[in-house]
Amino acid sequence: MQKKIIIGILIIWIFGMSLIGLLMPKRTFSEMENRYLAELPAISFSSIADGSFEEKFEVWLNDHFAMRDYFVRLSKIKTYALGVREFGDVYYAEDDTLLRKLSVNRERLDKNNAALIQYADAAEVPVDFALIPGAVDIWSAKLPSAAPHVDQKAMIQDVYQTVRQGTEALQKQQEECYVNCIDLYDTLAAHDEEYIFYHTDHHWTSLGAYYAYSAYAEAIGCPASAVTEYPDRLLSGNFKGTLYSDVPLPWIRPDEIHAYVPEGNIGVTVFDGSKYKEGRLYAEEHLQEKNQYTVFLGGNQPIVVIQNPEAGQEKLLIVRDSYMDSMAPFLTADFSELHLIDPRYYKQSLNQYIKEHDIDRVLICMSLSSYMESTGLPAVLR
């Protein structure tokens, strides 16, 4: 009898919560999970017959279940209480640090290596190449005991060796074919006890970006100013990034976002896919959003052009991912123009762009994860 009462209460509770979810105003985006929620599927005879409507409706109902955010958080707390420190592809590590595993896509990696080698064969300007290791490797000492992770240093070195061997083979056939592979791993590893990555997001901090910039500047013969020479502005003290969306444990402290503001009369122009418009190095209105990292340059855009007429004469084109958003301000000291191209959104020929804008040098710089997953890179480098 008691079992029947409990079952009855559970059925009433589930039905009641589902009914409340149906009647409540619907959200299209979950701030906590940082993703778009499922839309109510259209009903038709065919979708009912093949079962797709029932399947999509169940997903929609789960996404719009009353108090969903509360129950998602409660589920993560319960998982943690059971001693689990692996939440999907995110580790809960020491010092309340969230670290994302690296997913290896060897087939895509080989294709992008080949595309880079072929691009170097046709390039008419110097080509620099720098891969950014993830926090999960630089901070591997923080990982839970026996947690497996990919040796990103070895993988980056393997990519560099493949690119060097490919360009050397082409050099035997012609005079010029060279890619300047730049090591960022050792530079970041030398500062692994500093705040160089966010604890709740996969990106590096502005300090981490500075150390990477200093390594690049040294590699191309441009002396970097000490980080202490830049005015340090605290932009936010309550940043909870994309990894926190996956593991929203309430005791994890938010991150700080700092900006080391460069000097000079710096102008920013953004191409959003349809038109050019004025931009800023720090779009502080984005601090009111969930993803506060988009304060740097206003987030992902196909093209961003940064001009500093007080810097040197050279123009640098950067094929990049979002890590570059917080590194670009430092590069304004060395180049009169920076042209940032995101291969996820830019689909035109890079060589044509270089000719049209009198580019002097190319830097391909992105995280190892982005490089290994990029489907747009071969098209841009064609």
- Structural tokens at position 216: 């690049």
Rounded Cα gap, residues 84 and 64, in angstroms:
27
- 229 contact partners, CB below 8 Å, separation of at least 6: none
**Locus of tokens 């049209």:** 356
Task: Report pLDDT digits (tens) over 138-172.
Answer: 999 999 998 998 999 999 999 999 999 988 776 65
Q: Please report which confidence band the pLDDT of residue 201 belongs to, taking 50, 70 and 90 as the band edges.
A: very high
CA distances from 36 to 25, 26, 51, 89 (A): 15, 12, 23, 19
What pLDDT, on the 0 to 100 scale, is given for residue 13? 42
Task: Report pLDDT digits (tens) over 333-371.
Answer: 999 999 999 999 998 889 889 999 999 999 999 999 999
The count of other CB atoms within 10 Å of the CB of residue 341 is 23
Number of H-type helices and E-type strands within the chain = 14, 15
Percent of all residues in the chain with a pLDDT value above 90, rounded to a whole number: 64
What's the rounded mean pLDDT across residues 103-122? Answer: 93
Rounded Cα gap, residues 26 and 36, in angstroms:
12
What pLDDT, on the 0 to 100 scale, is given for residue 17? 47
- Structural tokens at position 154: 């070895």
Rounded Cα gap, residues 55 and 260, in angstroms:
49
CB-side neighbour CA atoms (13 Å) of 41: 18
Percent of all residues in the chain with a pLDDT value above 70, rounded to a whole number: 79
Among left, alpha and beta (phi > 0; psi -120 to 50; other), residue 303 is: beta
Q: Is the pLDDT of residue 10 over 50?
A: no
Task: Report pLDDT digits (tens) over 218-248.
Answer: 999 988 989 999 999 999 999 999 999 999 9
Any idea what the Cα angle at residue 181 is, between residues 179 and 185, rounded to 5°? Answer: 165
Task: Report pLDDT digits (tens) over 257-267.
Answer: 999 988 888 99
Which residues are bridge partners to 92 per DSSP? 98
Any idea what the Cα angle at residue 278 is, between residues 222 and 367, rounded to 5°? Answer: 50
- Structural tokens at position 325: 């958003």
Please report which residue ranges of the chain form alpha helices under DSSP H: 2-23, 45-49, 52-63, 68-81, 106-122, 135-138, 152-171, 185-189, 206-219, 242-246, 324-331, 350-356, 368-373, 377-380
Determine which of 10-14, 37-41, 57-61, 159-163 has the lowest per-residue pLDDT on average: 10-14
pTM: 0.84
What's the rounded mean pLDDT across residues 83-107? Answer: 95
Q: Which residue has the higher pLDDT, 53 or 102?
A: 102
